[in-house]
A and B are shown apart, each in its own frame.
Chain A
Amino acid sequence: MGSKTVDKALTMLRTLPRVSLKNIRDNPGSKMTQKRGRGQHGGDYHGAGNKGSGQRQNYMRLGYETGNRPFYLRFGFEPYYERHHLRRQYPPVSLLQLQTMVDTDRIDISKPIDLTTICNTGLYRIFPDQHQFGINLTDEGADTFQAKVNIEVQWASELVVAAVERAGGVITTAYYDMHSLQCMINPTKFFERGIPIPRRMIPPTDAAEYYADPSKRGYLADPEKVSEERLVLSQKYGYNLPVIEKDPDYEMLTERKDPRQIFFGLNPGWVVNLKDKVILKPLDEELLQYYNS
C-alpha cells in the first residue's frame, strides 16, 4: 500500500467510467474452467486411455511392482523413528523472531516472558494434544539479539543461553505437563471454565535430568550452581557477563515461578472469576495441603 502505482491507479480511475456491477471481472486466467471435449472426436476417451486400469479404476495395490519383490519389502526393518509419535516435540521460535516481537511491541520486556506471553502475540501456536510441550528457542539471530529479557522456555541450546545472557537477560528452561500447557496457551478460555488452577506436574524421569541441569538453566537446578555456570559460559564464549545484581530491573530479572506454579502471580488451587473480577482462594486445610505438596 502507499506505492506510486496505487496513486496512479486511483488517478486513472477519475477519468475512467464508473466502476459498477457490470464492468468488474476477475483476473484473466485465475479460474480454471472445466473442459470436457464434445463432438465426434472432441475427447474420445476423456483422458482415461484405451482399456485397462485407466478406464476401470482397478489400479494395482499401492507399492505392487508387477511381480518384483516390492521396494518396501526389499530391506530389513530399521526402526530409526521408533516411538516418534510419543516423543516430546518443541516447536521452534528463533531469537530473531523473539527480537522482532520485542521490536514490534508484541512483547513487553519489562515483565517476565513465558509461554503465555509468546502465545498471546498470535504468532506462535502449540498443540499440547499433539505431544508439543512448548518452545524450543533456536539460535537464528543470536548475533543480533539485544533484548534484555527474563524468559522461560522449554528447550534451549547452549548458544541461545549465551546470547540471552550476553544481552543482560536471564533464561530458564521449565517443564510443563500437558494439562498445564492447555491452561497456558489460552488463559481466558481456561478461566472461563471456572475450575481451580491445577498444580504443575514434575517432569517425567527422562526429562528430569535436563531440567535439573544448571548448564541447561533448568528450573530445578541449584541457583548457586546456575550462577556459576553463567560465568563459565561467558568465559567459554568470551563476553563480559553483565552483573544483574546491579541492574535496575533486578527484581524483574530474578522473578521465577514455583515448580508447581503455572501463571505468574497465581497459585495452584485459585479460581479466577473473570466476570466478577475476583480471585477465589481455597481455605480448607486439606486443599491447601494438596496444592502445596
Chain B
Amino acid sequence: MTVFALLIFLAGTTSFVLSFLICLFGTRFLIQFLLRRKMTVLDYHKPERPQIPRPAGPAIFGGIVAGEILLFFFSSSYAILALALVTLISGIVGIVDDLATLGGLAKPLLLLIGGIPMVAIQYLAPGASVYSSRLYLPLFSHPTYLPILYPLLVIIAIPVTTNTINTIDVLNGVMSGTLLIAFVPVTVAIIIRIYLGLSSIWILLATLPLIASLLSFYFFFHRYPSKIFPGDSGALALGGAYGAIAIIGGVEIVAIIAILPAILNSFLFLSSVKKLVEHRQVSVQPTILLQDSRMVASTDRKAPVTLVRLLVSTGPQSEREITRNIFKLDAYCAGLALITALLIWVIPLAK
C-alpha cells in the first residue's frame, strides 16, 4: 500500500467516524438539553400527540463541519474548506430561523451569504479549484464554459437547495431519508468523474462526513417515530452541504435530478400559494388529519398543492405509508439521476 493510499484511507475513516460520533452524541445531548429547556414541538401525526425536542441542527452541522475541517488538514483542499463554510453559514442562518422565525423572503436573502465563501475562495485563490465554471451536459462530450454565469449560479444555488431540502422536511425521517437516497447517484457520479480524471479523490472523501452525519441522524433519531426534529438549522445545513457538494464535485445536474421530489414539492407549493411564504403562514392546510391520525387530501380549492396532498388524494394514509411512498419516489428519481450520470459522462465517451 502506498503512502498516498494510506493517507486517503486514514483521512476517510477518521472524518467519517468523527462526524458520525459528533452527530450521535451531540444529538443525544441536545435531546436532554432541549427537553429540560422545554424547547419542544407537537408531533401532530401521532395519536398520542407527543412533544418532540427541536432543533437537532447544531449536532448535525457540528458533525459535518468537524469532519470537513479534519479532511482539510489532510488535503489542504480549499474546496473542502468552502464546503465546511457553506454548511456552517447555512446552519447558523437555520439557528436564527429556529429561534426567531425568519420571514419567507428574509431567509433566502440571508442564505445568499452561504454561497459567497465558494466564490470568494475561487476568486482569491484561482488555483484552489473550488469549481471549474464548466457545465457537463447530457450527450455532449465537451462541457460548456460559463465564466460569468457560473459564479452567479453558485450564489443562487445555496439558497435554492437549502430551501428545497427544508420544504421536504414534512414527516418523520423524510428529509434525512431523501438526502441519503440522493447521495447514492451523487456519489456514483463523483466516482465516474474521478475515474475519468475530472475530479479529485478528496471530493469523494468530502461526501463522507455528510453521509456519516445523515446515517447517524436518520437511523438513531429521525426515522419513524422521530426522537428529535432537525429544525431549520438541520435542514438548511444539510441542504447547503448538498448544494456545495454538487458544485465542488461538478455533478450539478445529477444532484438536481436526485432531489426532484423535494424540488417538485417546493415548486408545487410555491406555484399554488403564488408567493414566498412559510408553511406555517398558510391559512388552509393541504391535508386533513383524521381521528385515527391518518391524513387525507383537503378538497378546499384554496389549499396549497404539496407532494403529501397528491399522495393521499385517493384515500387516507398513515404517516408511515406516506413516508414509504415518498421514499419510493426518491428511489425512482435516484435511478433517473444515475441514467443522467451515464448520459453525461459515459455515453458521450462511448460514441
| A and B held together in a complex | no
- Interface residues of B, Cβ cutoff 8 Å to A: none
